[in-house]
Amino acid sequence: MAYTSADLQRQLQRIDGKGYPAYKDIRGVYMFDDFTLFIDHVQGDPFAAPSRLRARVPMSAAGFPPDAYANRSREIALRDFLARAFSAACRSFSDRGRGSGKSGLMAMDMPGQEILERSSIVITDEYVEARFVAGLPAHGRRVLGRQAAAMLCEDVPKIVDAALKYAHLNRQALAHHLDTAEDADTLRGRLASLRLVAFVADGSILPRRSGVDDRPLQGETVVPFRSPDSLRVEVDLPHRGRVSGMGIPTGVTLIVGGGYHGKSTLLLALERGVYNHIPGDGRELVVTNPTAVKIRAEDGRSVEGVDIRPFINNLPNHADAAAFRTDNASGSTSQAANIIEALEVGAQVLLLDEDTCATNMMIRDARMQALVEKSGEPITPFIDRVRQLSEEMGVSSILVLGGSGDYFDVADTVIRMDSYLPRDVTAEAKAIAAAHPTGRRQEVAGAWPAPTPRVPLAESLNPRKGRREVSIKGRALRAVLFGTEEIDMTAVAQLVDEGQVRAIGQALNLARERFMRPGQTVPQVIAAVMEAIARHGLDILDPRQTGDYVAFRPYELAAALNRLRSLRVEVGPALKTPG
Ligand code: ADP
Ligand code: MG
């Protein structure tokens, strides 16, 4: 039996002035003129988490041409565009003067500079659906029925009209949004065949307004990106046509230059280049191999059963480097674990900035080698593994370095940032390397050791908190709250949206419930979660069909698992394959 918006209006009038729990009666489905309103969850009181609603518009009324969601790139970009429109419309209709607590609030998370798949907008051939929250109005703890009716029966239809109907949206802006995303995906997809790990288009604007404002820096002082001729690559894109820019080849790339010349800014743009950006961002055509992972030192983190032998051996106190465990990693061991864990789940590009690396993990110069013999130093620095990574493992590295010229010997490409503009100084660096030998000995002994597989134990993940069987939350970009544990994500650089953090928390639980089985290794479990999401959408993370979740990469999911202090894994010889 279907209710109408008139029924909802009558219902709200009937409960006007009653105690707040009377709102529970409006849970249900209501047919409006040209959409359906689902009131899925009604908050218990005006100060509780707001009520959850969905507005579903049939495609016949929404009117989006099939071309607007004809492929993954365009569908995600369309959903992103609608989320921005819906969020903005909610803001303009939110009226917090409507009573106590969250009364009058209407909201959907506003996306940032990246275009990401979000569960707040769902599109199928049949309909467009927006998921949002509302604070049902109250005076004290009494229902304000008339205000609620104005919100739900008058304002919501206006929001739906403004944000979910093709005819009322800015068509040009929408087309540009979709084309921009499709071009970026196309460009990223071309990288491998061009033997590139990243591309930075000429004219790109890399610097941001501030450390807390991700919009492009503005003003006359901003220097648009311009590729050195020797690294310039041209690519034809479906919408923009031919674009030119700097291609960073596979292999080992150094970004050098004096302090404050734009090195870290370039690397940060490359970190974010795994995502698409909105028109006007300045990084629309800055794309990076989608598996690129930013690596840094992260002392204090826990490490569970990670084979760090490529970098660390012969630890004092007989710690096992093949299954290294600690509750409190040092700078170098944490960085080693970060690298191995990224490789474990398939990273093909590592991004490192000396500002955030452990020096002893990066380099041991000739004098230090002379003073402290190899047998007294457990660390094999990155400089002695980076070529092997490239040649044997097919893993490229991009390093920001201002301090150590020893890396000239192992680099394929050296880019110097000079007043924010890149120069190709590879030949110069090689000539200097030949003229000034470092005198250091390479410290690698033999091939890259076959990694020890790790099998995560489901029982080591516990989402319970107090009486709640499952309690999972995100805390901005900083932490996943999983049961009673707070997983520190502050060193995981490539998270850009709180919705990703929330989704990763749920994904850990999905992994625990469905995929952590005897013999299933970390990369197998992570891949199974990603595949389930690819097949069923973000809703597989939460049966409540909320708008809370944003797509994430396997690397960030693995990063959360690896930082869970309760995590226990079975390693190496204990490993049994099933069946
Ligand atoms: P480095 O890592 O070489 O020390 P940064 O990348 O941190 O330098 O950049 C130093 C400052 O210059 C930052 O405030 C950054 O916003 C600014 N900056 C970077 N690139 C540009 C550019 N292309 N135009 C204008 N300012 C820039
Ligand atoms: Mg820097």
Report residue 475: phi and psi, to 5°: -120, 95
Q: Answer yes or no: is 539 within a domain.
A: yes
Q: Are 246 and 266 contained in the same domain?
A: yes
* 412, 429, 449 - which closes a domain: 449
pLDDT confidence of residue 576: 46
Query: Residue 277 in contact with residue 496, Cβ under 8 Å?
Result: no
Q: Are 156 and 202 contained in the same domain?
A: no
Q: Are 204 and 284 contained in the same domain?
A: yes
Say how many domains are in the chain: 3
Q: Answer yes or no: is 579 within a domain.
A: no
Q: 220: which DSSP letter?
A: T
Q: Are 411 and 477 contained in the same domain?
A: no
Query: Residue 536 in contact with residue 543, Cβ under 8 Å?
Result: no
Query: Residue 181 in contact with residue 74, Cβ under 8 Å?
Result: yes
Q: Are 239 and 261 contained in the same domain?
A: yes
Task: Output the CA 257–ligand 1 centroid distance in Å.
Answer: 11
Q: Answer yes or no: is 312 within a domain.
A: no
Domain of residue 29, residue span: 2-169
Cβ density class 497-518: b for 16+ within 10 Å, e for less? bbbbbbbbbbbbbbbbeebbee
Whether this model's pTM surpasses 0.85: yes
State if residue 268 touches ligand 1 by the CB under 6 angstroms criterion: no
> Rounded to whole angstroms, how far apart are CA atoms 417 and 420?
6
> Rounded to whole angstroms, how far apart are CA atoms 568 and 400?
34
pLDDT confidence of residue 573: 63
Q: 305: which DSSP letter?
A: E
State if residue 207 touches ligand 1 by the CB under 6 angstroms criterion: yes
Q: In terms of Cα–Cα distance, which of 273, 206, 217 is closest to 420?
A: 206
Encode the chain (579 residues) as per-residue pLDDT tens digits: 689 999 999 999 999 999 999 999 999 999 999 999 999 999 999 999 999 999 999 999 999 999 999 999 999 999 999 999 999 999 999 887 778 889 999 999 999 999 999 999 999 999 999 999 999 999 999 999 999 999 999 999 999 999 999 999 999 999 999 999 999 999 999 999 999 999 999 999 999 999 999 999 999 999 999 999 999 999 999 999 999 999 999 999 999 999 999 999 999 999 999 999 999 999 999 999 999 999 999 999 999 999 999 999 888 777 889 999 999 999 999 999 999 999 999 999 999 999 999 999 999 999 998 898 877 788 999 999 999 999 999 999 999 998 889 999 999 999 999 999 999 999 999 999 999 999 998 887 678 888 889 999 999 999 999 999 999 999 999 999 999 999 999 999 999 999 999 999 999 999 999 999 999 999 999 999 999 999 999 999 999 999 999 999 999 999 999 999 999 999 976 444 443
Find the DSSP H helices in 274-385.
331-344, 359-362, 366-371
Ligand 1 atom 15: residue of nearest CA: 207
Q: Answer yes or no: is 110 within a domain.
A: yes
Q: 251: which DSSP letter?
A: S
pLDDT confidence of residue 1: 62
Ligand 1 atom 27: residue of nearest CA: 207
pLDDT confidence of residue 445: 65
Q: Are 444 and 459 contained in the same domain?
A: no
What tokens appear for 190 in the block? 């071309």
Task: Output the CA 266–ligand 1 centroid distance in Å.
Answer: 8
Q: Are 160 and 194 contained in the same domain?
A: no
> Rounded to whole angstroms, how far apart are CA atoms 118 and 345?
23
pLDDT confidence of residue 99: 83
Task: Output the CA 566–ligand 1 centroid distance in Å.
Answer: 40
Ligand 1 atom 1: residue of nearest CA: 260
* 434, 449, 464 - which closes a domain: 449
Question: Which ligand 1 atom lies nearest to the CA of residue 257?
Answer: 3
Q: Are 212 and 360 contained in the same domain?
A: yes
Q: Are 390 and 466 contained in the same domain?
A: no
What tokens appear for 389 in the block? 């990574």
Ligand 1 pocket: which of 212, 260, 267 to mutate (most atoms within 8 A of CB):
260
Q: Answer yes or no: is 296 within a domain.
A: no
Q: Cα dihedral angle (65, 66, 68, 71), rounded to 10 degrees? A: 180
3-state secondary structure of 106: strand
Q: Are 151 and 198 contained in the same domain?
A: no
Task: Output the CA 355–ligand 2 centroid distance in Å.
Answer: 6
Ligand nearest to the CA of 262: 1
Task: Output the CA 213–ligand 1 centroid distance in Å.
Answer: 14
State if residue 372 touches ligand 1 by the CB under 6 angstroms criterion: no
Q: Are 352 and 431 contained in the same domain?
A: yes
Q: In terms of Cα–Cα distance, which of 310, 458, 466 is closest to 387?
A: 310
State if residue 221 touches ligand 1 by the CB under 6 angstroms criterion: yes
Question: Which ligand 1 atom lies nearest to the CA of residue 221?
Answer: 25
> Rounded to whole angstroms, how far apart are CA atoms 377 and 134?
59
Q: Are 444 and 461 contained in the same domain?
A: no
Residue 278 maps to which CATH number? 3.40.50
> Rounded to whole angstroms, how far apart are CA atoms 387 and 510?
38
What tokens appear for 122 in the block? 């769902």
* 449, 465, 500 - which closes a domain: 449
Ligand 1 atom 19: residue of nearest CA: 262
State if residue 262 touches ligand 1 by the CB under 6 angstroms criterion: yes
Compute how many other C-beta atoms are within 10 angstroms of the C-beta atom of residue 341. 25
pLDDT confidence of residue 579: 36
Question: Which ligand 1 atom lies nearest to the CA of residue 262?
Answer: 6
Task: Output the CA 205–ligand 1 centroid distance in Å.
Answer: 11
> Phi-psi region for residue 305, left (φ > 0), alpha (ψ -120 to 50) or beta?
left
3-state secondary structure 483-540: CCEEEECCCCCCCCCHHHHHHHHHHHHHHHHHHCCCCCCHHHHHHHHHHHHHHHCHHH
Q: Answer yes or no: is 558 within a domain.
A: yes
Q: Answer yes or no: is 13 within a domain.
A: yes
Q: Answer yes or no: is 578 within a domain.
A: no
* CA-CA-CA-CA torsion sign (206, 208, 214, 215): negative
